[in-house]
Amino acid sequence: MSVTHHISGELLADYASGAMDEGWSLAVATHLSMCPECRRRLVAIEAAAGVMLEDMDGAPAASTDEASWAALKARLEAAPAAVAVKAAAVPRMPGGIPAPLSDYIGSDYSTLKWKALGLGAYQIPIEIGDRTVQARLLRIPAGKPVPEHSHGGRELTLVLKGAFRDGELVFGPGDLEETDDSVQHQPVATPDEDCICLAITDAPLRFKSRIMRLIQPIVGI
Amino acid sequence: MTDRPDSAPSGQPDAKAAGVVDEVGVLLLAIGQSKDMAAFEALFRQYGPRLRAFMLKRTADPALAEELMQEAMTNIWNRAASFDPARGSASAWIFTLARNTSIDLFRRRKRPEMDLSDPALMPEAEEAADRMIEARQSAAAVRAAMRDLPPEQLEILKLSFFEEVPHSAIAEKLGLPLGTVKSRIRMAFGRLRTALGEQS
């Protein structure tokens, strides 16, 4: 099954330019691991950036280009060939959790440490350096809904395993759903298997139900 | 300087003759394969000033821009062996290295990235050989599409890409409604995508 819900052009451009923060980038980069089509789109955007770099007028050096070149050469001679190939943070495996997400939570679905979230759902909070967003893995039981909520801001949901239905649309592995605070929605996991997804939000979720609002600070969603 | 090269750096004439790799790509391959200092100097003459300008746009600090340019050039020297012409153009590769240098050292934040050697990666269906041709055609198609972009679209693309100016600030700077800025960006990427879609 191939990916049908892709990254928007705006998000992909923010990721390509480097403007995007760590949390959102985690969802975009993991989607890229799962979606050859968006990898080709990224190549196109980076090629466009390359052309803009080619066409850029150079800024005059603080000193001169000769002094600048001399400094650069001296730097290379002082520290020759520091080509350390960075090892992956965790071992990677076929059919496992794709990089870059595996760098945060490991690559093996079977050893994840789930925490009960209530209503049969589970989560794993993911620690990122970026305090303005929350990243978590969610596991929604087969056939069950994610409690209905709207958002205080943007939410990216990337399906890793299983699928969920949101209104008319079905999101399967690799599909990315992008929603904002104008959307009140109720995704439901499809009946065949539990749905595991990566959810990135930039503000605490607002639940419609009073009970969910009460337990929200306790379970930390 | 007494050690300026007086002959063009050696490189990969075969790849170049086949039209697969452009001039800058040939320099990168020479640096990657044999640490060719003459090739590196030629690359510096061409890209050093541009990378300095790029870093200046991001930092607005000339001394820091010089430092980041030198760091980016050092990264190019150290990592040139990982340049793969089948995956994209030389200038795109240089852009990604400069971007990552500015994120690491100026923004000081992590940037999650996919890993093309990850066994969990969902692979491309086509043959690698086809992709080699595709990458070359893509670069040419993108360059042609960029040349054809209306100036107002190109200007916004440059602002949002190189200066990382938020769309709302671009709108303010140019005295345009935010919706116009967003639609120009969408149109610009739409043109690029069309350029690529036509040959895939």
pLDDT in tens, B43-83: 999 999 999 999 999 899 999 999 999 999 999 999 999 99
Cis peptide before A100 (omega within 30 of 0): yes
Banded model confidence at residue B1, pLDDT cuts 50, 70, 90? very low
CB contact burial A46-82 (16+ within 10 A = b; e otherwise): bbbbbbbbbebebbebeeeeeebbeebbeebeeeeee
CA distance A210 to chain B (A): 36
SS3 B173: helix
Amino acid identity of residue A150, one-letter, is S
pLDDT at B5 over 50: no
CB contact burial A103-142 (16+ within 10 A = b; e otherwise): bbbbbebeeeeeeebeeebbbbebebebeebbbbbbbbee
Give the per-residue pLDDT at B186.
81
Six token digits for residue A180: 């904002």
Other C-beta atoms lying within 10 Å of the C-beta of residue B106: 18
Give the per-residue pLDDT at B192.
77
Give the per-residue pLDDT at A180.
80
ipTM of the complex: 0.84
Asked if A140 and A195 count as a contact pair (C-beta separation under 8 A), the reply is: yes
Q: Which residues of chain A have pLDDT under 70?
A: 1, 62-63, 80-89, 147-152, 203-221
CA distance B173 to chain A (A): 19
Give the per-residue pLDDT at A203.
60
Alpha-helical runs (H) found in chain A: 9-17, 22-34, 36-54, 65-78, 102-105, 210-219
Give the per-residue pLDDT at B56.
93
CA atoms of B29 and B26, how far apart (whole Å) = 5
Asked if A187 and A165 count as a contact pair (C-beta separation under 8 A), the reply is: yes
Give the per-residue pLDDT at B199.
44
Give the per-residue pLDDT at B198.
47
Helix axes A65-78, B37-59, angle to 10 degrees: 110
Across chain B, how many H-helices and E-strands are there? 9, 0
Q: Which of A49, A99, A101 sits opposite B161 (nearest CB)?
A: A49
**Nearest-CA residue of chain B relative to A17?**
B161
Q: Return all residues near B167 (Cβ < 8 A) that are at least 6 apart.
A: B160, B178, B181, B182, B185
**B199 class by beta-carbon count within 10 Å (0-12 exposed, 13-18 middle, 19+ buried):** exposed
Contact call for B49 and A26, based on CB within 8 A: no
Six token digits for residue B13: 């004439």
Q: Which of A26, A54, A72 sits opposite B73 (nearest CB)?
A: A72
Question: pTM for the full model?
Answer: 0.85
Please give the mean pLDDT across all residues of chain A. 85
CA atoms of A96 and B30, how far apart (whole Å) = 37
Asked if B162 and B51 count as a contact pair (C-beta separation under 8 A), the reply is: no
Average pLDDT over residues B128-152: 74
pLDDT at B128 over 90: no
Banded model confidence at residue B2, pLDDT cuts 50, 70, 90? very low
Closest CA to B77 of B32, B120, B109, B110: B32
Which phi and psi angles does A57 have, rounded to 5°? Answer: -80, 135
Give the per-residue pLDDT at A27.
97
pLDDT at B135 over 50: yes
A100 or B10: which leads in pLDDT: A100
Give the per-residue pLDDT at A59.
74
Strand partners, A177: A157
> How long a stretch of residues is chain B?
200
* Residues of chain B positioned with their CB less than 8 A from the CB of A44: 138, 142, 192-193, 196
Instruction: Mean pLDDT check: name the lowest of A61-65, B33-37, B184-188.
Output: A61-65
CA atoms of B90 and B25, how far apart (whole Å) = 5
